[in-house]
Amino acid sequence: MTGVGETLRGAREEMELSYQDVEESIKIRAVYLRAIEEERFEELPGAAYTKGFMRSYAKFLGLDGDAVIAAYLSSAAAVPEEPAPSAPRRLQTARPAFRRTALLATAAVAVIIVIVLSFYFNPVEQKPIADPPGVSEQNQPEGETTPPVTPEEPEEPAEPEIIEGLVVEVAYSAPCWLDVRADGEPVFSGTKGEGESLRIEANEYVEFVSIGATEAITITKNGELLPGFTEHVTRNFRVIADVPRLAPPDGGQDE
């Protein structure tokens, strides 16, 4: 036993919360909460989810999530990370050096033969020498004039695209709690897991009231990736539209 489960259970019971109360708040199923408290980690969906669930649970109970994760990882009960499957090595058949040399010599001879035959059957045509300035005009019949050549106008550079309004997309690499507002209105509050995403549309700004695990998400603004965060937990982070949209956006917020 690591003692992690007992610590979490004691904090929950001290706050007089049931499993259902916690599930409604942090969106982690009660069966997983019970498995964490009883340290039946093998029943959780993988090492990444185990750490994410444990961190969110500890934070909700007012505990140090990093300390709880460290105690869990130092124990023998920790679920090992699944190693990524290595790509099979491609077997290469060694070729003798003399065979490679013979092939190169044969290819070189073939190239020389092709060049000689091309000059023999397709002799180079001599280009006519251009008349000096003024001679072509003197040889033209009377009444005929050479039309003036109109220079091509340079193309004007394309103006940069101006995007009105704001589309913010969040991609999850691990479980993370988010509380998000669009133009001051709540649009999402909860936890999503690895491989999931969140899309928010707004006229002027999108505010992340609370981000529980910044290292678990990436944020793009109108298709442009924003820089990462320096702190684990971030509050009141705003993404502001370059040009506000006058009309409200159509469509839903969550994918």
According to DSSP, residue 77 is labeled T
Range of the domain at 200: 166-240
Asked whether residue 121 is assigned to any structural domain, the reply reads no
> Which H or E run contains 166?
strand 166-172
**Which of residues 18 and 249 earns the better pLDDT score?**
18
Half-sphere exposure of 215 (CA within 13 A, CB side): 6
For residue 7, which phi and psi values (nearest 5 degrees)? Answer: -65, -45
Look at residue 252 in the predicted model and tell me its pLDDT. Answer: 46
Number of domains comprising the chain: 2
**How far is the C-alpha of 84 from the C-alpha of 143, rounded, in Å?**
83
Look at residue 246 in the predicted model and tell me its pLDDT. Answer: 75
According to DSSP, residue 56 is labeled H
Token pair for 58: 């500890």
Asked whether residue 57 is assigned to any structural domain, the reply reads yes
Asked whether residue 134 is assigned to any structural domain, the reply reads no
The per-residue pLDDT for range 144-188, each reduced to its tens digit, is 566 666 667 767 666 555 678 899 999 999 999 999 999 999 999
Look at residue 93 in the predicted model and tell me its pLDDT. Answer: 44
Look at residue 110 in the predicted model and tell me its pLDDT. Answer: 84
* Residue 84 confidence class, pLDDT cut points 50, 70, 90: very low
End-of-domain residue from the set 58, 73, 88: 73
Number of other CB atoms surrounding residue 110 within 10 Å:
10
Asked whether residue 80 is assigned to any structural domain, the reply reads no
**How far is the C-alpha of 212 from the C-alpha of 215, rounded, in Å?**
9
Asked whether residue 211 is assigned to any structural domain, the reply reads yes
Asked whether residue 100 is assigned to any structural domain, the reply reads no
* Residue 196 confidence class, pLDDT cut points 50, 70, 90: very high
- CATH code assigned at 20: 1.10.260.40
Mean model confidence pLDDT for the chain:
80
| CB 145 within 8 Å of CB 137 | no
Token pair for 27: 């969106």
End-of-domain residue from the set 20, 53, 73: 73
Highest mean pLDDT among 69-73, 104-108, 131-135, 203-207: 203-207
Token pair for 37: 């408290």
The per-residue pLDDT for range 93-149, each reduced to its tens digit, is 445 555 777 778 888 888 888 786 776 666 555 555 555 555 445 555 565 566 666
End-of-domain residue from the set 41, 73, 105: 73
Asked whether residue 142 is assigned to any structural domain, the reply reads no
pTM above 0.85, yes or no: no
For residue 32, which phi and psi values (nearest 5 degrees)? Answer: -75, -35
